[in-house]
Structure 1
Amino acid sequence: MELAMIFSTAFVVGFSGAMMPGPLLTVTVGESARRGFVAGPLLVLGHGILELALILALAGGLSSFFKKTGVSHTVAVLGGAFLIYMGYGMARDAFYKRVSLAAAGPAGEGCGNPGGAGVEKEALKGAGGVRLHPVLAGVLTSVSNPYWTLWWATVGLGYITLSLRSGFAGLASFFTGHILADLVWYSLIAAAVAGGRKFLKEGVYRGVLVVCGVFLIGLGGYFLYFGLFT
């Protein structure tokens, strides 16, 4: 994959995942109402620190292992299958109106991702009920979500494997595109909440999710092709 392709596809995939209601989105809404716009970027900073550490751990010590043909193809097939599954579910739920921005209210009710209910409350409180800093909350909210672990064990690992074919530059392009997507989306959410207005209509939101879902299915097909026929 060329660097521009790695960056652009990582951005779209990351943006697709960020848009789905889940604990980090819920925390962003709640903290932005308390702290203002700055809560969004700070939460993404914590989220990004965790993901960068994971990427470096996977790519650093295991890069030679994942570059083996049999391993890289197996990971690509698993990641591709999960992308297709995730894309289909995203497009279907959006089309049938099973997902809504309203689900990501400060109370955290009805979050779409596994692990959403109640996670944000625990992530924001430490011992004695003291509220945590948004950066630390971003770390804990992410690592407490089973969906995050599943994504990195399949899609994320597949992307790392493919990115490593372009060396460190490929890996940097992947991470930059991925985390930039999170920063853009959660900053928009924080700005909207802090400004006290709804900036995105439900119909537009669902339409974007359908498009993203179709894109994920196509990218999953590419992963499968790479794993099975190259």
Structure 2
Amino acid sequence: MDFPLFALTVVSISLSGVLAPGPLLAVTIAEGKRNRFAGLEVSLGHAMIEIPIILALYAFGRFVELGAWKSAISFAGGVVMLYLAYRELRGGGGEVKMRGVLSGVLMSALNPYFIIWWLTVGLTLVLLSMEFGMLGLIAFIILHEACDFGWLGFVSYFSGRLSELGGFERVLSYVSSAILIVFGAYFIVTSISTLHLYL
């Protein structure tokens, strides 16, 4: 995989997560009606949990010889993405009442799907970033967090108008699911096709 394709993959998969209706989006929309910049605060809290996880996963992948486990992790990441797509299409989300940076911290740390995502999908992306050394890690963090700050910042700023659009969250759910299905299938196929290299 070359660097432009890596960057596109990171942005696409990151957006599939942040676009999906869920606790972070719900609290951002709710808080955006009170504070237009609530999305940036939520994103900051989210990043405070995410960045240490990214660094820990990078260290894990850097110093532990994974071998065939890379294919297994990629396969698991693909399965998780397909499951999340299924869950989105069935209708996820829920009302969340919390504020500011703390909401971003708690909605991340206490969300089991967030942990599962990072141990599978996120770890796969971190392993991909290792192909480009420290540049890959830095690019991954910047691109991933930019998606969070950009989208949640946009949503909170225009929260009043967006909440008036009845089908808005459903459209986001379809877009997110489509991205998850495409990359989930790609991860699974790639993991199967590369498994023979370790056998």
Please report the TM-score for the alignment, with normalisation by the length of structure 1: 0.74
Q: 1: CA distance between counterparts of 2:143 and 2:71?
A: 23
Q: Does 1:10 align with 2:4?
A: no
Partner of 2:197: none
Gaps in structure 1 of 5+ consecutive residues: 94-98, 100-111, 125-133
Asked if the contact 1:45/1:138 (under 8 Å) is kept, the reply is yes
- Contact kept, 8 Å, 1:12 with 1:181, in 2: the verdict is no
Partner of 1:214: 178
The equivalent of 1:198 in structure 2 is 162
The amino acid that maps onto 1:52 is: I
2:145 maps to what in 1? 179
Name which of 95, 114, 139 aligns with 2:105.
Answer: 139
Which residues of 2 match residues 26-37 of structure 1 at below 5 A?
26-34=26-34, 36-37=35-36
Structure 2 residue 5 is matched with structure 1 residue 41: no
* 2:51 paired residue number: 52
Q: Structure 1 residues 155, 58: CA separation in 2 closer, same or farther (over 3 Å shift)?
A: same
Could you give the per-residue CA deviations for residues 172-192 of structure 1, whole angstroms, max 9, x where no partner exists? 222222222212221121111
Identity %: 34
How far apart in 1 are the matches of 2:87 and 2:167? 17
Aligned to 1:83: 81
| Residues 63 and 183 (structure 1), Cα distance of their counterparts in 2 relative to 1, 3 Å cut | same
Q: Distance in 1 between matches of 2:16 and 2:128?
A: 20
What amino acid does structure 1 have at the position aligned with 2:57? L
Q: 1:88 to 1:41 in 2, by over 3 A?
A: same
Shift in Å, 1:61: 4.2
Check the 8 A contact 2:32/2:156 in 1, yes or no: yes
**Residue 160 of structure 1 aligns to which amino acid in structure 2?**
V
Q: Which residue of 2 aligns with 1:167?
A: 133
Give me the TM-score of the superposition, normalised by structure 2: 0.84
Q: Displacement of 1:52 after TM fit?
A: 0.7
Moved more, 143-152 or 175-184: 175-184
Root-mean-square deviation (CA), in Å?
2.4
Whole-Å separation in 1 of the counterparts to 2:15 and 2:137: 18
Aligned residues of 2:19 and 2:176 also touching (Cα < 8 A): no
Residue identity in the other structure for 2:76:
L
Query: Residue 197 of structure 1 aligns to a residue in which SS?
Result: helix
Name the structure 2 match of 1:109. Answer: none
**Aligned partners of 2:55, 2:116: CA distance in 1, in Å?**
18
Corresponding residue number in structure 2 for 1:71: 69
- Distance in 2, matches of 1:61 and 1:68, equals 9
CA deviation profile, 1:14-53 (whole Å, cap 9, x unmatched): 222222222212221232223x222111110111121111
**How far 1:204 sits from its partner (Å)?**
5.7
Deviations 1:57-93 (A, max 9, x none): 111244232x532121110111011112223443x33
Structure 2 SS opposite 1:69: coil
**Aligned residues between the structures:** 194
Q: Which residue type is aligned with residue 43 of structure 1?
A: V
Q: Partners of 2:179 and 2:31 in 1: how far apart?
A: 31
The answer to whether the Cα contact below 8 Å between 1:10 and 1:174 also exists between their aligned partners in 2 is yes
Compute the displacement of 1:3 (Å): 2.3
